[in-house]
Structure 1
Amino acid sequence: MGIGLAIAKQAAEEGARISLLARSLDHLEKAKQSIWEAYKVEVSTFPADVRDYDAVERAINRAGPIDVLVVNHGVYYFEELEKQGVDVVKTMIDVNLMGSFNVIKAALPSMNKDRKHKGPASIALMSSMAGQVGTYGFAAYSATKYGLRGLAEALQQEVIANNIHVSVIFPPVTETPGIEQARKTMPEITKIILDSTVEMTAEEVAKVTIKGIKSGSFSIPCRLDGRALAMATAGLSPERSFFMASIEVVFAGLFRFVGLLFQWNWYRIIEKNNSRKNQSPEVSGD
């Protein structure tokens, strides 16, 4: 199960009216059926490619007023940038970053004007811990996920007057069919680094996501190490809780140091792997 379906199921469990947008009609129908079988909740589905603004706008207009918009789509291909095709880089930028702009821009008019109540609304963007710290083989992917944070920080200033809260979710490596497929072709160094972390399930990420959205949090890390990373990289991100802001100020330096320890270990892994590759094979002679 992917994170998007897990979030939809978590929302269904809490009684939300759900609309799903995805490129594949087949995947949408399977998701709709899965949610119905689990929660007996009707789901509206809208096929559209997030890279096509006009198609996205038509789908969102058909869906009607939106109280909570979860921008969860994304693709990833892990490879050294020197080896990665420009077309692959462009695909990630177009889907992950431009696709997010398209979805949000299409949804904003109804979220600003057509909501049935004047309570807070939410826009949640699914970033990644790769949007907080760069990792070997993630150059293009991390660029798109870092971009989502910049989008969210600026957007929050634009929509706060309309009582819309923007959130960014930073999950770690998550157990999904996509990551298992990616492991087959990712660089060996990337595998070693990822294997040093513990994966989360899509259901775990979904529960944290819904809880964070309901609390109005801007930054939504998914577990303790993610919280530490969020504090170390907080910068000028919005923080609505004075208590959490105080914690960040007090512990930012400590978590920055802890983060550097992990990063230094990654560089040792990279150096060791590159040294092994650069060693010439032994040649025996008479």
Structure 2
Amino acid sequence: MPSTSTILITGCSSGFGLETARYFLDKGWRVIATMRTPRDELLPRSDRLRILPLDVADAASIRRCIESAGPIDALVNNAGIGLLAPMEGIAMDDVRQIFETNTLGTIAMTRAVLPQFRERRAGVVVNVTSSVTLKSLPLLSVYTASKAAVNAFTESLALELEPFSVRVRLVLPGRAPGTSFGANARQRITASGHEAYAGLMKQVFASVQDTSTPITHAKDVVEAVWQAVTDPSAPMRIPAGADAVAVAAGRPAA
């Protein structure tokens, strides 16, 4: 794609989304960075940047965002919610919230841009999921299910859109302890505890925060998204981060 292309990225208030927006700006792209609560100070001023409000779990918010954005060349579905907790300690309302954002939000955003991509016979959708969909871990049953559903959705949709020259790809980050995503997950583990799992929770939480073994950095995810967007020969699944690469290759991550 030429550097004058336009990319829309969800979940840009922090973490992978914010760094991806910065990277594409630096590469000369027009960037539409979306956030539930827009904050102009997060990104450098540029005539190629627009920051728009977006809640991917709200149909009206999606409609307004897409109408305001106008034509785009690439969509990166990055917005997501983390949840690290035993199944018995999770309220069903929380389960629904996870799926509304991680799964249905991704599907709704993708559906919203497909007409323009299909009509132009060009466009790229990149869905950011997780390497936990490749290797099961405890206390992540709901989160993993929400992301695994996106994997299946993406791979099927890619076949559906191939006749229209629209590409659909997956980026699968590994463990990134330093992100705000991890901080949100920590809040949820406290709120969703269950005394029977106290020992397991302590053990898993310590391993999640361990930085002595391979982890994923924002740069890894940004570069994987760049490859997925700009390289037509990129594979369907792109692991991002040393730990994710190891898991995808069937090797121990430590």
**Contact conserved, 1:219 with 1:230, CA < 8 A, in 2?**
no
Letter in 2 for 1:13: D
Counterpart position of 2:206: 192
**Contact conserved, 1:19 with 1:44, CA < 8 A, in 2?**
yes
Q: Out of 202, 206, 211, which is 2:222 matched to?
A: 206
**Residues 1:168 and 1:65: Cα distance change in structure 2 (over 3 Å):** same
**Residues 1:197 and 1:148: Cα distance change in structure 2 (over 3 Å):** farther
Counterpart position of 1:227: 245
In the alignment, the residues of structure 2 paired with residue 197 and residue 82 of structure 1 have an alpha-carbon distance, to the nearest angstrom, of 29
1:21 aligns with 2:34: yes
Q: What SS does the corresponding residue of 1:123 show, helix, strand or coil?
A: strand
**Contact conserved, 2:78 with 2:127, CA < 8 A, in 1?**
yes
**Contact conserved, 2:174 with 2:244, CA < 8 A, in 1?**
yes
**Contact conserved, 1:4 with 1:73, CA < 8 A, in 2?**
yes
Q: Out of 180, 183, 188, which is 1:180 matched to?
A: 183
Q: CA RMSD in A?
A: 2.2
Counterpart position of 2:165: 163
**Contact conserved, 1:35 with 1:41, CA < 8 A, in 2?**
no
Shift of 1:18: 0.9
Letter in 1 for 2:124: S
Unaligned segments of structure 2, at least 5 residues: 1-13, 190-200
Counterpart position of 1:93: 99
Q: What SS does the corresponding residue of 2:88 show, helix, strand or coil?
A: coil
Higher relative contact order (CA 8 A, sep 6+): 2
Q: Deviations over 1:128-184 (max 9, x none)?
A: 112222211111100011011001011101111111111111101122123134346
Q: Deviations over 1:167-214 (max 9, x none)?
A: 111101122123134346642132233227433222332123212332
Structure in which a larger fraction of residues adopt helix: 1
Q: Out of 27, 30, 37, which is 2:41 matched to?
A: 30
In the alignment, the residues of structure 2 paired with residue 20 and residue 58 of structure 1 have an alpha-carbon distance, to the nearest angstrom, of 14
Q: What SS does the corresponding residue of 1:87 show, helix, strand or coil?
A: helix
Q: Out of 136, 139, 148, which is 1:137 matched to?
A: 139
In the alignment, the residues of structure 2 paired with residue 159 and residue 230 of structure 1 have an alpha-carbon distance, to the nearest angstrom, of 25
**Residues 1:159 and 1:185: Cα distance change in structure 2 (over 3 Å):** closer
**Contact conserved, 2:127 with 2:154, CA < 8 A, in 1?**
yes
Counterpart position of 2:52: 46
**Residues 1:223 and 1:55: Cα distance change in structure 2 (over 3 Å):** closer
Counterpart position of 2:5: none
In the alignment, the residues of structure 2 paired with residue 197 and residue 159 of structure 1 have an alpha-carbon distance, to the nearest angstrom, of 39
Mapping 1:237-252, distance limit 5 Å: none
Q: Deviations over 1:84-125 (max 9, x none)?
A: 111111110111001011100111111222x4xx6x521000
In the alignment, the residues of structure 2 paired with residue 150 and residue 185 of structure 1 have an alpha-carbon distance, to the nearest angstrom, of 26
Q: What SS does the corresponding residue of 1:24 show, helix, strand or coil?
A: coil
